[in-house]
Amino acid sequence: MADAIVTEILKKLGSVVVREIGFVCGMKDEFDKLRSMLSTIRAVFVHAEELQDTNPEVADWLEKLNDALYDADDLLDDFSTQLLRRQVMTQDKSLKK
């Protein structure tokens, strides 16, 4: 389950909009770190999924990880929405002039 959301977040981090956000907000390095961390999480997740049936602590960890990944996905969506909103407002101002 978390593997799918990690894949989705990695796609978003590679998108043009998110790259623009990184440059505009000065967060490119942070996005690069997040991308690297997500790749590591994906590798650990595969092993942890196998252990969750026999270890309730791992199951709990996976649930918390999944929640955190959805929060990260929502945050990227919010960043993208704000950037697109600013671009539309800038274009509207240019057209009015």
Residue 89 pLDDT grade (very low, low, confident, very high; cuts 50, 70, 90): confident
Structure tokens at 43: 């590798």
Give pLDDT, residue 1. Answer: 61
pLDDT-based confidence at residue 57 (cuts at 50, 70, 90): very high
Share above pLDDT 90 across residues of the chain, in percent, rounded to a whole number:
2
Of the candidates 30, 39, 50, 47, the one whose C-alpha atom is nearest the C-alpha of residue 10 is 39
What is the number of alpha carbons within 13 Å of residue 70 lying toward its C-beta? Answer: 7
Q: What's residue 37's pLDDT?
A: 83
What does pTM read for this prediction?
0.67
- In the predicted model, what is the mean pLDDT of the chain? 79
